[in-house]
Amino acid sequence: MNKFINENLLKMNTEEFLSNIKKAFNEVFSNGNIEKINLMKYLSEEKWKNIKKCGLLLPFLPEKFGGRKNNQFEIQEVLRIAGNYGVPITLRTGIEGALVLQPLVEYGNQEQIEKGLEMIFNGEGGGLGITEPNTSGSAIAKEMQSYYEYIDENTIHVKADKYWQGNSQSDFLLVAAKEKKNEKISKIISLILVPREYITYDVLNSEGLKAVRYAVNHIDADIPAKNIIKLSENKANCLREFQNIFIRSRLQLVGMTHGIMEFIIKNIINFARKEIDFVQNELNEIKNTYEISKIMYNYTCNNISPEKSVADKLMEANILKTLATEYTYKAAQIAQKLLGAKGFETGHPISNVAIDFRPFTIFEGPNDMLYAEIYDQFSRATTSEKKDGIRINKNSTIYERFLSDKRFKKFENTFINNIINESNELIKFLKNHTLNEIDQVKKVFVGKILARLFLLLQSESDNVIKFLMRDIRKDIIDFEYNE
């Protein structure tokens, strides 16, 4: 397995390894080179391969397959460092690392892993094909129409139309499809490693992210059955494993958003008219947003581990994904505003940041759907509560559930608890509403409040607490407006 990896990269300590990655990026993107690389066009494969050869994806690869020692911090750092060079750069790192490499090594067999890694490390890599043009991406597990059917024991027929795959036209796609048996599409979802030769595509003309190729991909072909990557031998677990792919990638996504926040701050300082008081105020908004981003970044570094299951972290993953993307998008919009007309010039380092970033609030689960899910996960018993025989009384108030939920209790901190208790408005709101009165619309607003509360409990700075409390107040107003 080590044939594609330079052994020296494995011997380096974390500091040496990360500074080597930075050097690789600087060689391509700094010293005037950034002007020569037009990220409004597709990034040169040769340049990208050179960065990968310097170890960019090694933190995502477990040691037993020739990667670095398990270290969540390194995963987050490579995503963050890549974000310092622009949105498409970190997205491409995230797609290949978290959406392709990690699922491949987690669910693939030896032969599939070897084949996939060869294409990832020595070729153009791959993409993950989930979303379809004719079904809802939000309800994909239920509505998915793509299927595979056994023709004989060695061959399957795959019929799939997938769209918006990052890294389309590269060496392969991991395509999600359901097994068709006796003319019926079953609930068994698998990933199929589909090499480029079986895929036809129509290029998608995207509004931004030009450096990441997108397409509508079509597969209607007989391919070897050994390319099926089973998510579970047990069909009841397929769906859960399918979801686990997204739990991990949502938890890790904050590496990308944190890097992009740094990219925004680094660039806006050079261009904003700091002598104007209100501009200073807006710069402070960005700074506070960055502080919030840091809390989320640290959460993943300190609570997630590449070798440990994340199945119990769905609520936390949804909190991080929604808030990291909501706040980074907000910072991107402020930054573009502060540039005035310059923010509309093609080629300006941050003229495209908001448009490139916007889909982060949509992919990996649209934020509003995830806010609603945060509420669902909060109001249901967790796996460990179920094991202990605990049931959630739907007549209890949100406040009572908040007090009993260990995922929030974990951050118990007297300082913060005092602040929350002093905030009559928030406590009153939590005490005034019972779980059984929350309908589909209200779920989104309560999900937002819970998400911010989760971060509030981990905040140490007065400014961040004030900032989050202001947003919680706004969510309460939205909730009440919809009553």
Ligand X SMILES: Cc1cc2nc3c(=O)[nH]c(=O)nc-3n(C[C@H](O)[C@H](O)[C@H](O)COP(=O)(O)OP(=O)(O)OC[C@H]3O[C@@H](n4cnc5c(N)ncnc54)[C@H](O)[C@@H]3O)c2cc1C
Q: How many residues would you count in the chain?
A: 483
What is the Rg, in whole angstroms, of the alpha carbon atoms belonging to the chain? 23
User: Phi/psi of residue 41, each to 5°?
Assistant: -120, 175
The partner residues of 219 in beta bridges, in order of sequence, read 160, 199
Query: Do 433 and 398 form a contact (C-beta atoms < 8 A)?
Result: yes
- Residue of 18, 124, 36 lying closest to 79 (CA atoms): 18
Task: Write the burial class of residue 116 (CB in 10 Å: 0-12 exposed, 13-18 middle, 19+ buried).
Answer: buried
Tell me how far, at minimum, the Cβ of 136 lies from ligand X, in Å: 4
Euclidean distance between CA atoms 92 and 83, whole angstroms = 10
Query: Do 180 and 149 form a contact (C-beta atoms < 8 A)?
Result: yes
Rounded to 10 deg, the angle between the 235-271 and 277-303 helix axes is: 150
Tell me how far, at minimum, the Cβ of 143 lies from ligand X, in Å: 9
First-to-final CA distance of the chain? 59
User: From the list 71, 72, 165, 379, which residue makes contact with ligand X (rule: CB under 6 A)?
Assistant: 165
Q: Is 194 in the site for ligand X (CB under 6 A)?
A: no
User: From the list 103, 127, 255, 259, which residue makes contact with ligand X (rule: CB under 6 A)?
Assistant: 127
Q: Is 138 in the site for ligand X (CB under 6 A)?
A: yes
* Window 371 to 400, contacts with ligand X (CB under 6 A): 372
User: Which residue, 165 or 459, has its beta carbon nearer to ligand X?
Assistant: 165
Q: Is 435 in the site for ligand X (CB under 6 A)?
A: no
Q: Which stretch binds ligand X (CB under 6 A): 159-167, 288-296, 318-326, 345-353?
A: 159-167
**Residue with nearest beta carbon to ligand X:** 137
User: From the list 2, 19, 30, 136, which residue makes contact with ligand X (rule: CB under 6 A)?
Assistant: 136
How many chain residues interact with ligand X (CB under 6 A)? 21
User: From the list 291, 366, 413, 434, which residue makes contact with ligand X (rule: CB under 6 A)?
Assistant: 366
* Window 333 to 362, contacts with ligand X (CB under 6 A): 359, 362
Euclidean distance between CA atoms 312 and 139, whole angstroms = 21
* Window 70 to 99, contacts with ligand X (CB under 6 A): 95
Euclidean distance between CA atoms 464 and 469, whole angstroms = 8
Q: Is 131 in the site for ligand X (CB under 6 A)?
A: yes
Q: Is 369 in the site for ligand X (CB under 6 A)?
A: yes
* Window 41 to 70, contacts with ligand X (CB under 6 A): none
Tell me how far, at minimum, the Cβ of 210 lies from ligand X, in Å: 11
Q: Which stretch binds ligand X (CB under 6 A): 124-132, 260-268, 321-329, 468-476?
A: 124-132
